[in-house]
Structure 1
Amino acid sequence: MLSLLHFLAFMAVTGYALFVFCSIVYSRVTFIRLGKKADLQKDLGTRINEFVVQVFGQKKLLKDSKSGVMHIVMFYGFLILQMGALELILKGFVKGFELPLGNAHPYFSVSQEITTFLVLLAVIYAFYRRFIEKLPRLKRGLKSGLVIIFLTVLMVSIFLTLTFEHIWLGGAGSVYTPFSSVIAGLFAGMSANNAGIWFYVCWWVHLLTLLSFLVYVPQSKHAHILFAPVNILLRDTKPAGKLTSIDLDDETQETYGVGKIEDFRQNQLIDLYACVECGRCTQMCPASGTGKTLSPMDLIVKMRDHLTEKGSVITSSTPWVPSLAFSPSLRSELAATVETYATNLIGDVITEEELWACTTCRNCEDQCPVANEHVDKIVDMRRYLVLTEGKMPHEASRYFQNIDRQSNPWGINRKERNKWREGRNDIYAPTVDEEPDFEYLFFVGSMGSFDIRSQKIAQSFAKIMNTAGVKFAILGNEERNSGETARRIGNEFLFQQLCKENIANFQDNHVKKIVTICPHTYNTFKNEYPEFGLEAEVYHHTELVWKLIREGSIKPTKEVKEAIAYHDSCYIGRYNDIYDIPRQILNSIPGVQVLEMERNREDSMCCGAGGGMMWMEETQGKRVNMERTEQALTLSPTTIGSNCPYCLTMMSDGTKAKEVENQVKTLDIAEIVERSL
């Protein structure tokens, strides 16, 4: 009779827990399907490779080696313990049950106990990191503590269940059950009957904890266990940070950008439930680190909670809603229900201050262990503000007007684009009309053309190409702004207009190779223009300089005695994975000493100019460029080196603000190379 009640109780609680688990997971999937369909590339091989590297290799997690090793132990530990969990459950119905592994079973047993012990150690370390060391990026509270309690009880109950089974069965200690055998020694003298009772007590504790955890997982940040692998498999396999275009010719569109949570694409919404809330993104965010309201983690969490709340309202008022995931025609029937939902995504959930604080540096995305993409969501919401509501900082409005009228951020007469050549008589930078038989088109860009400081970079690079005998030409007054900043501020219309004008200009002049001193322009030409028809090789000036050095076309021979704190720009580094070339150039120059900042390479901190912030005022907290300049100055350099006109401007402003501009120079790599020729 007791055996029957035991079995019925097991079936009841297990069945209920599985039902609740499946219902919650299904609801989350339904909420995700509220979003727009994603047009994913059919590149299964690339996706599987990324899946294996990130899910089973845990590559991103190991960026923080301590947390990474801890997570790897938990991840593989739980995979290994699944067979042991099955055996343990069956032991509750068949006394002394063992999986039919024959002579291999003792080795299976020892592997299970060692794994359980290692997972328990990892859980203890997780508790230490969160509640004793108090790692700033980790949240502390009931939810975080609850998970640690669940895991601790699960591991301890495994050992105790096995311990009391030993005593119940009258077995002796064994090297194949090292931990449970030692614990059994602490209960010497316990009768078999009492051991049997305690076996079932611990067995039920383990089962109920396991089922409670099962129900809790999809409702908590641990939903990443389910959604993170899917997120990695279904993410856009595109160049890093490439934005999705808006079809401006689609006359059925009434709004542009994302103003409602369901306007995001479905693969973007998977991000929300994949989030681990590990805080790595916020820890590295330049905006968050300098006192702005933007926290990439909080942005994702707030949108996740908003999606869950809004999805629950829809599903509770429309019982048939699960079918909408498969029938787009039903979307219109939800309009009335959605309109009654008063919480706005922008304003109530995400503030405009958060959106305008982002520098689009992608440090958050580079750190994220589950492949979440924060920047495209921010830009999509900026697009809604700019294109649909016409709301933006006044500096952005002035920027758009100047670009639209004169194709440069200052509104300077576009016919003055050639004046940068007048500063020096020792350089030859012909226009495409003056040198039709050119190999490279030097796209000078607005900074190189109009900004007095950046003009020196353009001049140095032109001199390097002259010295190497490179045949190049410029567009001169026919050159247009690349549109990169306009796009990231949210003005997709202006970007596409400039993009099409530039491509037409390139085609008219038979351009096959483009080189630019601006990483932002480089990234846009290389990774975003091809979608609109650009067919040309694109080079950043450091790539071409290193190519010329390797070929022997130029030889840095003059000693340049400088201790250079090198700053990796975001759009060359995290966007295009170029870290070694600038360092190789500097190391090839006699007398140069390269100093590495604490945050360097993929962890490099943004200068604060990206995402349109070059042209907008920071109204909250500390200026990002000041924080980065201070990081450089801790190395006591004689020069701060850069490969980006934006970065150079921000670091120059930083040294002036710190009143060290006479002691610490700010130079582009091209300027340093020219000094050595």
Structure 2
Amino acid sequence: MFALINFVLFLLITSYAVYLFASLVYSRVTYIKLGVKSNLQKDVKVRINEVLTNVFGQRKLLKDKKSGIMHVVMFYGFIILQFGALEIIIKGFVKGFEWPIGLAHHYFSLVQEITTFLVMIAVFYAYYRRYIEKLNRLKRGLKPGLVIIFLSALVISIFMTLSFEHVWVGESDGLFSPISTFIAHLLGGLNHQQGEIGFYVFWWIHLITLLSFLVYIPQSKHAHLLFAPVNVLMRDTKPLGKLHSLDFEDETIEEYGVGSIEGFRQNQLIDLYACVECGRCTDMCPASLTGKTLSPMNLIIKMRDHLTEKDAEITKQSPFEPSFLFDENPTLTSLNRHTIDVAATKEKPKLIGDIITEEELWSCTTCRSCEDQCPVANEHVDKIIDMRRYLVLTEGKVPQDTNRYFQNLERQSNPWGINRNQRMNWRDELIDISVPTVKEVESFDYLFFVGSMGSFDKRSQKIAQSFVRIMHKAGIKFAILGNEERSSGETARRMGNEFLFQQLCMENIKSFKKYHVKKIVTICPHTYNTFKNEYPEFGLEAEVYHHTELIWSLIEDGRLVLRNEVNEKIAYHDSCYIGRYNQIYDIPRQILECIPGIELMEMSRNRENAMCCGAGGGMMWLEEKQGKRINVERTEQALILNPTVIGSNCPYCLSMMNDGVKMKDADNEVKTLDITEIVERAL
């Protein structure tokens, strides 16, 4: 009778738990389907490689070695323990059941016990990091602690169930089940009947905990167990530095950008349920670090809750209702039409303004630190830019400084509004060197795209002049567009003005084609990124080089010989758009290491972990009104090393670091130089 009751209860409770789990997962999938169809590229090999690398290889998680190892133990531990968990469940119906694998079962038991012990250690370490070490990026309280309680109960109940089984059955092999056998010895005073009672008590504790956790998963951050692998598989495989374009010729489009949660693409909405809430993104975000309201993790969480609550308010559909699971469109069931009518009369919170503030959107430097750190391949930057596009193109709501920037770009094709006919004035100091325009030469190998910073900014003009001297020294045939050059439009695009970007893009490409440009070199990583990764979509057919790439190739070919000693201690700063966007880390360092006398110093945050200077995403042209200035924070990180030079490879970065050095009253001791200027001194 007991066996029958036990089995019936097991079927009822397990079936109901699985049903609730399926209903909740289905509801999340339904919410995701509210988004716009993604139309992803069918890069099967790339996607499989991403899954192997970041899901099974846990590459991103291991960026933080301590928590990475902890999660690897949990990830593979629970995969291994599923085989033992199923065996334990069967033991509740078949006394002393073991998988029929002969003597191999001894080793199976040993692996299960060792794995359970390692998972228990990992769970305790998770508790330590969250509640004792109290890492800032980790949330505390009951909700985050529930998972630790669940996991602790699972691993402890495994050991206790097996230990009481040893007492009940009267058999144990201490060599292959050392921990449960040891606990069984401590329970040695119990008889077989008491052992049976203890077995079923902990068997049910294990089962109820397992099923409760199953139902809890889709409703918590642990939904990432389901959605993170899908997110990695379904992410955009476009170049990291490429944004999605808007089609301004499509007359059916009524608004541009994304102003409601349903306006995001479906693969973007998967991000929301894939989020682990680990806080790594926020921990690395320059805006968050310096006291701005933006937190990439909170941005995702708020959007996730908004998506869940928005659809739940409309449907009011309980997961207990069978129609919720099987109806083709649960948001339009006959049971809910009255609810929809009532809900429609209430004012719903707006995505931009109520859920995500404009201050958050305009704090982002688009540096991609958040995305680089995210272990589940979430993409924060494109969502922020999509919402910026809505503010700029649909609502016309932009900060005053941004509006002035757009006007100057439209009128004079530079951020300052300086007369475009002065674009070539930077050549005046190059007395003995010719800088020809494309009209003045019959042929050239490289088009030197000077950019607005190199053309108009006094400090950046020195970078352009140094680079010209280097190319002249190496015998490079080059030319410039002169007054026909336009802004690349990169910053306008990341500030949300896609229309202005496409206008400038097409004007530049028209000039490139007119003069049969085959190779382009630029001193600006932002221009480099947009030419290399974004312009090809609009018709650019040319090789694109950053000036450090060209300089390094000239050194390798022996066309540049760096003989002169440059006795400087250089703290090198990685530009986000060369580094995280285009994975160029070694070339600038190799150049500096070739120069006699240079001592290359690495900041605590370097390479892919380097902190942004604060200029990207249009922040170069916006006043920081919250918290500490980002460039000052980054400058302080450099000054800790006591360098004589802060080195860079980007006019934006150099300008920001130069301002930071002045604000720290260190400009008499520390210089800020571009790599071109350092190389020129070594020639």
**Which TM-score tier does this pair reach, normalised by the shorter chain?**
over 0.9
Give the structure 2 partner of residue 214 of structure 1: 214
Give the structure 1 partner of residue 165 of structure 2: 165
Give the structure 2 partner of residue 539 of structure 1: 545
Q: CA deviation at 1:582?
A: 0.2
How far does the alpha carbon of each residue in 1:75-120 deviate from its partner, in whole angstroms, 9 at most, with x for none? Answer: 0000001110110000000000011111211110110011000000
Q: CA deviation at 1:435?
A: 1.7
Give the structure 2 partner of residue 110 of structure 1: 110
How far does the alpha carbon of each residue in 1:604-656 deviate from its partner, in whole angstroms, 9 at most, with x for none? Answer: 00000000000000000000000000000000000000000000000000011
User: Where do 1:23-422 residues align within 5 Å?
Assistant: 23-316=23-316, 323-324=328-329, 340=346, 342-422=348-428
Query: 1 CA distance for matches of 2:9 and 2:528?
Result: 65
How far does the alpha carbon of each residue in 1:130-170 deviate from its partner, in whole angstroms, 9 at most, with x for none? Answer: 10011111111111111001000100000000000001011
Indicate the SS of the match to 2:378.
coil
Is 1:137–1:279's contact at 8 Å kept on the other side of the alignment? yes
Q: CA deviation at 1:317?
A: 7.3
Q: CA separation of 1:444/1:553 partners in 2, compared to 1, >3 Å: closer, same or farther?
A: same
Query: 2 CA distance for matches of 1:174 and 1:641?
Result: 63
Residue 435 of structure 2 aligns with an amino acid whose one-letter code is: A
User: Where do 1:635-646 residues align within 5 Å?
Assistant: 635-646=641-652
Is 2:570–2:643's contact at 8 Å kept on the other side of the alignment? yes
Q: Does 2:14 correspond to 1:14?
A: yes
Is 2:290–2:633's contact at 8 Å kept on the other side of the alignment? yes
Q: CA deviation at 1:659?
A: 1.0
Q: Does 2:566 correspond to 1:567?
A: no
Which has the larger displacement, 95-104 or 347-356?
95-104
Give the structure 2 partner of residue 664 of structure 1: 670
Query: 2 CA distance for matches of 1:33 and 1:556?
Result: 58
How far does the alpha carbon of each residue in 1:168-200 deviate from its partner, in whole angstroms, 9 at most, with x for none? Answer: 011144201111001111111210000000000
Is 1:34–1:325's contact at 8 Å kept on the other side of the alignment? no
Query: 2 CA distance for matches of 1:559 and 1:642?
Result: 19
Give the structure 1 partner of residue 463 of structure 2: 457
Give the structure 1 partner of residue 335 of structure 2: none
Residue 188 of structure 1 aligns with an amino acid whose one-letter code is: G
Give the structure 1 partner of residue 630 of structure 2: 624
Query: 1 CA distance for matches of 2:118 and 2:494?
Result: 46
Q: CA deviation at 1:434?
A: 1.0
Query: 1 CA distance for matches of 2:409 and 2:179?
Result: 71
Indicate the SS of the match to 2:45.
helix
Query: 1 CA distance for matches of 2:162 and 2:347?
Result: 53
Which has the larger displacement, 157-166 or 310-319?
310-319
Q: CA deviation at 1:429?
A: 1.3
Percent identity among equivalent residues?
Answer: 70
Q: Does 2:512 correspond to 1:506?
A: yes
Match of 1:577 among 583, 597, 619: 583
Which has the larger displacement, 172-181 or 110-119?
172-181
Q: CA deviation at 1:424?
A: 2.2
Q: CA separation of 1:426/1:357 partners in 2, compared to 1, >3 Å: closer, same or farther?
A: same
Residue 220 of structure 1 aligns with an amino acid whose one-letter code is: S
Query: 1 CA distance for matches of 2:6 and 2:434?
Result: 90
Q: CA deviation at 1:372?
A: 0.2
Q: CA separation of 1:526/1:78 partners in 2, compared to 1, >3 Å: closer, same or farther?
A: same
Query: 1 CA distance for matches of 2:618 and 2:86?
Result: 55
Residue 53 of structure 2 aligns with an amino acid whose one-letter code is: V
Q: CA separation of 1:241/1:306 partners in 2, compared to 1, >3 Å: closer, same or farther?
A: farther
Match of 1:423 among 414, 429, 447: 429
How far does the alpha carbon of each residue in 1:369-424 deviate from its partner, in whole angstroms, 9 at most, with x for none? Answer: 00000000000000000000000110000000000000000000001111010022
Query: 2 CA distance for matches of 1:338 and 1:373?
Result: 32
Q: CA deviation at 1:342?
A: 1.1
Q: CA deviation at 1:436?
A: 2.9
Is 1:310–1:341's contact at 8 Å kept on the other side of the alignment? no
Give the structure 2 partner of residue 653 of structure 1: 659
Query: 2 CA distance for matches of 1:554 and 1:118?
Result: 56
Query: 1 CA distance for matches of 2:204 and 2:72?
Result: 28
Residue 374 of structure 1 aligns with an amino acid whose one-letter code is: H
Residue 270 of structure 1 aligns with an amino acid whose one-letter code is: I
Which has the larger displacement, 635-644 or 311-320?
311-320
Query: 2 CA distance for matches of 1:102 and 1:317?
Result: 50
Query: 2 CA distance for matches of 1:497 and 1:65?
Result: 46
Is 2:290–2:627's contact at 8 Å kept on the other side of the alignment? yes
Query: 2 CA distance for matches of 1:38 and 1:398?
Result: 34
Query: 1 CA distance for matches of 2:172 and 2:138?
Result: 44
Residue 303 of structure 2 aligns with an amino acid whose one-letter code is: M
Query: 2 CA distance for matches of 1:147 and 1:565?
Result: 43
Q: CA deviation at 1:302?
A: 0.3
Q: Does 2:444 correspond to 1:438?
A: yes
Query: 1 CA distance for matches of 2:2 and 2:670?
Result: 82
> Normalized against structure 2, the TM-score is what?
0.97
Q: CA separation of 1:324/1:531 partners in 2, compared to 1, >3 Å: closer, same or farther?
A: farther
Query: 2 CA distance for matches of 1:334 and 1:208?
Result: 34
Which has the larger displacement, 280-289 or 426-435?
426-435
Q: How many residues get paired?
A: 673
Query: 1 CA distance for matches of 2:187 and 2:264?
Result: 59
> Normalized against structure 1, the TM-score is what?
0.98
Q: CA separation of 1:253/1:340 partners in 2, compared to 1, >3 Å: closer, same or farther?
A: farther
How far does the alpha carbon of each residue in 1:482-535 deviate from its partner, in whole angstroms, 9 at most, with x for none? Answer: 000000000000000011111111001100000000000000000011111111
Query: 2 CA distance for matches of 1:326 and 1:362?
Result: 36
Q: Where does the alignment leave 5 or more consecutive residues of structure 2 unmatched?
A: 333-337
Indicate the SS of the match to 1:81.
helix
Query: 2 CA distance for matches of 1:224 and 1:444?
Result: 45
Indicate the SS of the match to 1:590.
coil
Residue 166 of structure 1 aligns with an amino acid whose one-letter code is: H
Q: CA deviation at 1:341?
A: 5.2
Q: CA separation of 1:187/1:410 partners in 2, compared to 1, >3 Å: closer, same or farther?
A: same
How far does the alpha carbon of each residue in 1:211-247 deviate from its partner, in whole angstroms, 9 at most, with x for none? Answer: 0000001100000000000000000001114211111
Give the structure 2 partner of residue 473 of structure 1: 479
Aligned-pair Cα RMSD in Å = 1.7
Is 1:427–1:459's contact at 8 Å kept on the other side of the alignment? no
Which has the larger displacement, 2-11 or 579-588?
2-11
Residue 25 of structure 1 aligns with an amino acid whose one-letter code is: V
Residue 68 of structure 1 aligns with an amino acid whose one-letter code is: G
Indicate the SS of the match to 1:247.
coil
Is 2:315–2:340's contact at 8 Å kept on the other side of the alignment? no
Query: 1 CA distance for matches of 2:474 and 2:367?
Result: 34
Query: 2 CA distance for matches of 1:384 and 1:414?
Result: 30
Q: CA deviation at 1:478?
A: 0.2
